Amino acid sequence: MLNNLNLLFSMLIFISSILTISSSSWLGAWIGLELNMLSFVPLLIEQKNSSSNEAGLKYFLVQAMASSLFITLSILNTFSFFSFSIFNYSTLNYLMIPILIKLGAAPFQTWFIMLMNKINWFKALLLATWQKIAPLTLLSFMNSSNFVVTIIASLSLFTGAIGGLTQTTFQKIFAFSSINHLGWLISTLLTSKQLLVIYLTMYIFMNTILFVILFLFNTFSFSQNLFSSKTNVFTLSILSLSGLPPFWGFISKWLVVQNMIMTGQLMMNFLLISSALINLIFYLRLIMNYSLLSFSSMKWMFNPENFNLTVATLFTLNLFGLILFNLILF
């Protein structure tokens, strides 16, 4: 429900994320993360809704535990440098653990999947996109070894790809999809931080379009039927998120693969492509279900209005994607 308090907490979420990104010390980053958590919990809680109340409590407990671990390890990290500077970081990788918990990356993805299954599409969009910006930025500040980054990215890639194969609800499917894309985001740390910004921006844009469609059509599971016009828009959004050419979601994955080849990360490149192919299975299953199995009109009848809507939607998605890509890159 849109009211003054929700607007206030939404503004605090954006401000706290910017505070964390712009902070130059671990203490300032911790304050931003705490403010972000305390602003997002009231948005999760709704009156007369036990499911949202349970989601808010679980989110608070997990994030509070991760924040406590984060500030403790930050203090221990300063023993090597006698400074809280965010750019002074030892070779130990323990501080990555609370950040991975906050991200919902594998093997700490359980709370994220449970939460996505209990909240509406607007809150799920915030959880899957904006709430990842601050932790990913902190993760990019760390001088972690390539081996550790490869292990973490591989776990997220295949947990998200394989876990989504057995799901029947959209919330859990896109929760596992988010974990898979998180593996792509973490793998960009092996090449360049600019690539992380490009992929994250495109991922947020793709998810925003898809979640808005699901919110407007009030769709949650395979058992719900869609009309033909809705199916066209939904199908194009799914194909764009999957990264198939000629859809503009392919650009971000192509950039990651190209940079992996240029830097000699051939093993990581193989893992990325393999997980993308596995991920494509349940993306295509969504399209098959609505295009062939649960279609509410006759399959053999041609409708010019639906065809025009499909072409217009495809053109708009690609146009916005190319414009966004050029703005970020240049």
CA distance 254 to 266: 14
How do the pLDDT tens digits run along the chain, 330 residues long? Answer: 557 778 888 899 999 999 999 988 888 899 999 999 999 999 888 777 777 888 889 999 999 999 999 999 888 877 776 667 766 665 557 888 999 999 999 889 999 999 998 888 889 999 999 999 999 999 988 877 888 889 999 999 999 999 988 888 888 989 999 999 999 999 998 888 889 999 999 899 889 888 888 888 777 776 665 545 556 777 778 888 888 887 778 888 999 999 999 988 888 999 999 999 898 888 888 777 666 554 444 444 444 444 454 445 555 655 555 555 555 555
Which whole-number Å values give the CA distances from 218 to 212, 256, 289, in the listed order? 10, 34, 17
Which whole-number Å values give the CA distances from 233 to 77, 214, 306, 313, in the listed order? 49, 10, 10, 7
